[in-house]
Amino acid sequence: MAEFEQPQIYLITPTEFELSQFPDRLGAVLDTHEIACVRLSLATRDEDRISRAADALREVTHARDVALVIESHLLMVERLGLDGVHLTDGARSIRKTRKALGDDAIIGAFCGTSRHEGINAAEAGADYVSFGPVGDTPLGDGTKAETEVFEWWSEMIEVPVVAEGALTPQLIQTLSPLTDFFGIGDEIWQAEDASAALAALKSNF
């Protein structure tokens, strides 16, 4: 994923979705907006469900030349023909994952709110580092990735950065000059028309 002057959109799937409907919804968004990457982010641990979802989404994304990465399940990347993996344990398993998947795979690392973890992930060879949540959410322990983290990163570090989690129009406006990607998921999937919801968010760039 390359860096651009204006932030790009990195779509995150819902943690649960209907396989009969969601691929079409995703396709509609990809047909309307330029999307850098899609992350399959299912909560289930059911291998069959994950495989079927990945197969369905891969058809949608690859038909439109959009990369598809999967959250956490690095052993499924090659088997399912995906483009990479989004690791949720910061820098800890990046080197091992790179060795397993090779140089061409996209390897991203979610580093919560920790600059230290972010630097370690960048040094270990992550293709991007993601911080969040940036907005208020009842989930987790209430810690937020503050604007200062993105200010510091954009000045000091070359590795692309993703802002994600509880994004609002106001936060998008504030972070647009400081982040390479916005990780957008529930912010649009909860709307009836996800493409229109994404257009509304992008108007704050």
Q: Say what the pLDDT of residue 141 is.
A: 87
Name every residue whose Cβ is closer than 8 Å to that of residue 107 and which is 6 or more positions away in sequence: 84, 85, 87, 94, 97, 98, 101, 125, 126, 127
Q: Say what the pLDDT of residue 139 is.
A: 82
pLDDT single digits (tens) 34-56: 999 999 999 999 999 999 999 99
Q: How far apart are CA 47 and CA 174, in angstroms?
A: 39
Q: How far apart are CA 71 and CA 90, in angstroms?
A: 12
Q: What percent of the chain has pLDDT over 90?
A: 94
Q: Say what the pLDDT of residue 201 is.
A: 97
Amino acid, res. 153: W
Q: Give the end-to-end CA distance of the chain in Å, rounded to a whole number.
A: 19
pLDDT single digits (tens) 191-203: 999 999 999 999 9
Q: Which of 2, 52, 73, 59 is nearest to 26 (CA)?
A: 59
Q: Say what the pLDDT of residue 1 is.
A: 47
Look up residue 73 and give its two tokens: 């399940």
Q: Is the peptide bond before 177 cis (omega within 30 degrees of 0)?
A: no
CATH topology assigned to domain 8-202: TIM Barrel (3.20.20)
What is the model's pTM?
Answer: 0.96
Q: Indicate the burial class of 45 (C-beta count within 10 angstroms; 0-12, 13-18, 19 or more).
A: exposed
Largest CA distance in the chain: 44
Residue 4: pLDDT above 80?
Answer: no
Residue 95: pLDDT above 80?
Answer: yes
Residue 90 main-chain phi, psi, to 5 deg: 65, -130
pLDDT single digits (tens) 133-191: 999 998 888 899 999 999 999 999 999 999 999 999 999 999 999 999 999 999 999 99
Q: Which of 169, 179, 154 is nearest to 203 (CA)?
A: 169
Question: 52-69 in b/e burial notation, b at 16+ Cβ within 10 A?
Answer: ebbebbbebbeeeebbbb
Q: How far apart are CA 92 and CA 112, in angstroms?
A: 13
Q: Say what the pLDDT of residue 93 is.
A: 96
Q: Say what the pLDDT of residue 5 is.
A: 77
Amino acid, res. 112: G
